[in-house]
Chain A
Amino acid sequence: MDFFSNIVKIMAKYWKVFLLQGVGYTLLLSAITVVCGAVLGLLLYLGRTARFKPLNWLCIAIVEVVRGTPMLLQLYIAYFLVPKILPFHVTEFGSVTVGLVINSGCYVSEIFRSGIQAIDKGQTEAARSLGLNGRQTMMRIILPQAIKNILPALGNEFITVVKETSLASTFFVGDLMTSYLKVKGNTYLTMECLTIVGVIYFVLTFILSKLLNAFERRLKAHD
């Protein structure tokens, strides 16, 4: 069995490239994307519900455009545009991360929207009738309840992002898929390298989704 012995040989030589560099960068990229994406998503959500109408339209337009165009295209635009816009030096990793964050933020804003809209209108009315203003109502009454809907969905978004970061390999940013490109370039063993990377992606997302399930059960147990 050449195939499996090749895989063993490749792993023996390049395990650091796959497991340290590749997995490390993929997780780093995903974590940055989801955390910054969550912040951006919240801002976009607040923007589209703000009282200032033009801001609503702008935020809705951004979300619609991002959700309606291919992610790879957005990453290309970010890759070329971000270094031109920002006054300081940005690495390729940085530019591509900006693209990922904007993409994820738009999806996360939808997660916020559905999580917040699921909270009964009576909660807002009760809070406002006590004299709380809109912001206090959101921060103290609505968000703490919505977070229970939002966190599991954010976890799913994280898993999705782990897989989507593979598109960033187009720009050689060092993620797991970039490891594939590198090792394949050295060994010319395409199927073997793809198999290794595929298994690693699967194990990553499988572990993450199991962790997420356990976390969700704990959230539910709290009720």
Chain B
Amino acid sequence: MTENLIETVDLHKSFTVNGKETLHVLKGVTEHIAKGEVVSIIGPSGGGKSTFLRCLNLLERPESGKIIFEGVEITGEKVDINLHRQKMGMVFQHFNVFPHLSVKKNITLAPVLLGKRSQAEADEQAEQLLSRVGLLEKKDEHPGRLSGGQKQRLAIVRALAMEPDVMLFDEPTSALDPEMVGEVLDVIKALVKSGMTSVIVTHEMGFAREVSDRILFMDGGVIAESGNPDDIMNRPQNPRTKEFLSKVLY
């Protein structure tokens, strides 16, 4: 029995649209992510994938249900979520690199500001991380000079600089030009191989199949099906999974 890193119990979340209509996005999601596990979440748009991921570090606060991270119920009262977020790296669809800071400063800001490292230590670490993703020669540039793929690689190492225990990827390649998808997926693959626990919301089916230990299919606010990549991709049980896969796989 492996140790659970993240556990969610019956998460519910709804959004108010245009001030009146409520949209029930998560309808009771109970799931657990084991330490070292790589989990991909696939499913149609509006199925709750991103919302579920964003609940894990409380960028979205669920209305009810529990999230337990490293044994602490972070949805509880009087929890300093900032401390727990330091242990959960997140990568966004639109990169969200800091345009006013140099590439290196993007990486060192959080570790230095949060007292994890001295500036000198953080600089050294940043250069190591940048060379790992082939961006070392860009360290003094501003992100405005980087391509989309480079920005996303920067965003990934920025999150890694906090030495997180889990990485959350929210459609990391959806906003990229097709020719840049590969370079970002390669970085994620290398990271996953090094044993980083990861939760990846993605539309890249081939990638999900290749890197995941487990795939969750989300639709209509629930996890409709969950299993190993081979079973989900080749022998889906749920009719909605079948239908979705028949549309995205060819």
Contact = CB atoms under 8 A, between A and B. Distances in A.
Interface in B142-180: 142, 144, 155, 158-159, 162
A123 B109 CA distance: 14
B67 to A, nearest CB: 15
B57 interface: yes
Interface string B110-139: 100110000000000000000000000000
Nearest to A136: B113
Contact of B85 (A123, A131, A145, A223): A131
A131 B74 CA distance: 14
A140 B98 CA distance: 10
B113 A129 contact: no
Chain A, interface SS category: helix
A126 B114 contact: no
Given A129-B90, A129-B159, A133-B82, 4 more contacts: A122-B92, A129-B85, A141-B98, A223-B99
Contacts of A126: 90, 92, 96-98, 155
Contact of B57 (A129, A132, A145): A129
B109 A140 contact: yes
Given A132-B110, A132-B113, A132-B114, A125 B85 contact: no
A130 B158 contact: yes
29 contacts: A120-B94, A122-B96, A125-B90, A126-B90, A126-B97, A126-B98, A126-B155, A127-B98, A127-B110, A128-B59, A128-B82, A129-B57, A129-B59, A129-B89, A129-B159, A130-B86, A130-B89, A130-B109, A130-B114, A130-B158, A130-B162, A131-B85, A131-B86, A131-B114, A132-B110, A136-B113, A140-B109, A144-B100, A223-B144
A120 B96 contact: yes
A37 to B, nearest CB: 25
B83 interface: yes
Which residue among B82, B97, B144 has the maximum number of chain A CB atoms within 10 Å of its CB? B82
A128 B110 CA distance: 10
Contacts of B109: 130, 140
A131 B100 CA distance: 19
B100 to A, nearest CB: 5
Nearest to A139: B113
B233 interface: no
Interface of B: 57, 59, 82-83, 85-86, 88-90, 92, 94, 96-100, 109-110, 113-114, 142, 144, 155, 158-159, 162
Given A122-B92, A136-B113, A140-B109, A131 B162 contact: yes
Nearest to B161: A130
Interface string A125-161: 1111111110010001100110000000000000000
B96 A123 contact: yes
Contacts of B96: 120, 122-123, 125-126
Nearest to A122: B96
A189 B61 CA distance: 70
Contacts of B94: 120, 122
Contacts of B83: 131
B59 A131 contact: no
A103 B183 CA distance: 54
Contacts of B142: 223
A129 B82 contact: no
Contacts of B85: 128-131
B100 A145 contact: yes
Contacts of B98: 123, 126-127, 141, 145
Nearest to A145: B100
A129 B88 contact: yes
B154 to A, nearest CB: 11
Contacts of B59: 125, 128-129
B119 to A, nearest CB: 14
A216 B88 CA distance: 39
Contacts of B88: 129
Interface string A196-219: 000000000000000000000000
